[in-house]
Structure 1
Amino acid sequence: MVRYYASSSAVAMEQEFIAMPTLRKILGEENASAEEAIAWLQRILDFLFEHAYDRAATQPPEDDWEQLHFLRAWARFSERIRKAPLFARVIYADRITIQGEECYNAPAILLALEKDEPLRRRLRPKRVSPFAHGDLHFDTILVDRNTGSFGPADPRGYELCDPWYAAGKLYHSARGKHDLIPRGEFRLD
């Protein structure tokens, strides 16, 4: 760590440059097999759930959905529209079609969740941890195929984060192809 910033609601750090490719790079550009990809993900998640997340784990705050999810998601939608206005019509749509399948759009789902307190209580995490990455996806994991080592890149360092949020971000990286959006590697019809 080169330097860090900490406030009552967020932590950020600056890392020194580490000459290792991201997991996305080895999966997409260096021809990693499906077996190798699964092995990397298993090692990374095993490490996180066995060694990182349980350190200082605590009960989530009463307003965990508001603090950990809703505010973050609405801010992300606003940021996406500001940075790429062409996403506005997609974000504002009630339903969207992804790879030929019609789906409810994320803002519509968020609005429904905001109104459904019993569902939020059932989905509330059992624990939250300050040791969660906060933005774990294929582009924020550095890997070394020669040594088998791995490490984080650009951790967000939220004060508290649901450990399953990280697993969800990785799933979204794989299934939703999240890492392709910031790189502009998509087609919008």
Structure 2
Amino acid sequence: MKKLSKLLFVLLAGAVAAPAFAANVNVGEVTFKGKITDKTCSIHAGDENKNVTMPTIAADQLDAPGKTAGAQLFTVQVENCPGEVKQVRASFRPDAQVDPVTGTLKNTDMTGAAKNVNIQLVNEDATVIKPGYHESAHLFPVDPNLHTGTMQYGGQYYATGTATAGTLTSVTTFDVDYN
């Protein structure tokens, strides 16, 4: 009986010590910090659903994957921002409209659609915005006296292959992030 008790004790001690030792081998910690406001900026009436008319270009300008052409800028204004909001940016959502390979907006036109061409989102300086990576979109100041701000972004044609002539419609959804 004593041998069985000692054996059981040794086995139990090893079982308890092993997980404790293993748990300390690669210990890490993640701390989340954030801020919740009771009020946010409003998107200016007329800017919540923008229609951007892209320039007409020749298909041969998009004759290879990755080529871009025909950039067109647009603005989104915000107003009624709380006093603590100093900067704003659009955070473009990575929804079903986004090509997961290129990070561009798919052509959803159903009739007469151009082939092998999407829309790539860009900042006002032509740097690329990747939907889902809100840091890729530039921040814009909020006027502390007027409590308004204007964000400027753009879209450009993006070849996913050799483009063909046709029409293009792409849609993206965005949220307004505050800093």
TM over 0.5: no
Query: Which structure features the higher share of helix residues?
Result: 1
TM-score range, shorter-chain basis? under 0.3
Q: Which structure has the greater CA radius of gyration?
A: 2
TM-score, normalised to structure 1, is 0.25
TM-score, normalised to structure 2, is 0.25
